[in-house]
Amino acid sequence: MAVGRRTILGLSALGALGIAFGASIQNFLGNAFGSGLGGLLPGGDRFRIYTITGTLPKIKDRDYRLKVSGLVAHPKTFTLADLQAMPVTSFTKAFQCVTGWRVPNVAWEGVLLSDLLSTVGVKPEAVALTFESYDRADTESLTLDQAHLPDVIVAYRMLGTPVTTEHGGPVRLYVAQMFGYKSLKWLSAIRVVNTVQPGYWENNGYPVNGWLDGSTGPTNPDPKLT
């Protein structure tokens, strides 16, 4: 599928960001990254705030819900407190966008996705997961194997604080071994399904398996690509 015009604009340059995301987001970016173009160009070890919709969904901690459904034995809707009561997984790893910017040594904390899946009990016929966002625009997918990697978390802390609104708080996905587009922000729902359903960025041309090294990955060998 071709990369959409909107996506090209959104990923290219400062002026284009203004067009794609609107003036308020451009101002926001300006505040977040300081003055000057440098903060928006690859390099500089800083996050760029991405939003498909041009909005930053604001979800109060007490209103947050994560609905886990589909091919599971015990569908459950988790509150933030539910997630925080589960075993904590934390590590420090880089965040890398496919467009070239990278932030090293980011502290992450949350619930291992595989722990969450154990809680609800994945049915034998399950193959993959789909992820939905409070923004009602972004979607993502992981195979079940990918979802069980020990560095895939449902994160409620990053950079030493609760995940901020701009970074997708209260809860975002973090998929350490893949490009940033897999780390869906404002996570609202996970569905366990029987087929991989490519998400928003994949429908705009990015690889469904977004491994950082460009390979087909440790758990999902694809003979066509080796």
Ligand X SMILES: Nc1nc2c(c(=O)[nH]1)N[C@H]1C(S)=C(S)[C@@H](COP(=O)(O)O)O[C@H]1N2
Our CB check for ligand X shows the closer of 80 and 138 to be 138
Residue from 88, 97, 103, 212 touching Mo ion (CB under 5 A): that is 97
Question: What is the nearest approach in angstroms of ligand X to the Cβ of residue 73?
Answer: 28
**Angle at 1 (CA atoms; ends 67, 49), nearest 5 degrees:** 55
Among Mo ion, ligand X, none, partner that 188 touches (CB below 5 to 8 angstroms by kind): none
Among Mo ion, ligand X, none, partner that 184 touches (CB below 5 to 8 angstroms by kind): ligand X
Residue from 21, 95, 131, 181 touching Mo ion (CB under 5 A): that is 181
Question: What is the nearest approach in angstroms of ligand X to the Cβ of residue 48?
Answer: 5
Our CB check for ligand X shows the closer of 78 and 206 to be 206
Interacting residues with ligand X (CB under 6 A):
47-52, 97, 133, 135, 138, 167-168, 180-181, 183-186
Question: What is the nearest approach in angstroms of ligand X to the Cβ of residue 107?
Answer: 14
**Radius of gyration in angstroms for the set of CA atoms belonging to the chain, rounded to a whole number:** 17
Our CB check for ligand X shows the closer of 36 and 100 to be 100
Among Mo ion, ligand X, none, partner that 204 touches (CB below 5 to 8 angstroms by kind): none
Could you say whether residue 86 binds Mo ion (CB under 5 A)? no
3-state SS record for the chain: CCCCHHHHHHHHCHHHHHHHHCHHHHHHHHHHHCCCHHHHCCCCCCCCCCCCCCCCCCCCHHHCEEEEEECECCCEEEEHHHHHHCCCEEEEEEEECCCCCEEEEEEEEEEEHHHHHHHHCECCCCCEEEEEECCCCCEEEEEHHHHCCCCEEEEEEECCEECCCCCCCCCEEEECCECHHHCCCCEEEEEEECCCCCCHHHHCCCCCCCECCCCCCCCCCCHHHC
Question: What is the nearest approach in angstroms of ligand X to the Cβ of residue 197?
Answer: 16
Select the residue whose beta carbon is closest to ligand X and give its number: 180
Give the residues lining the site for Mo ion (CB under 5 A): 97, 180-181
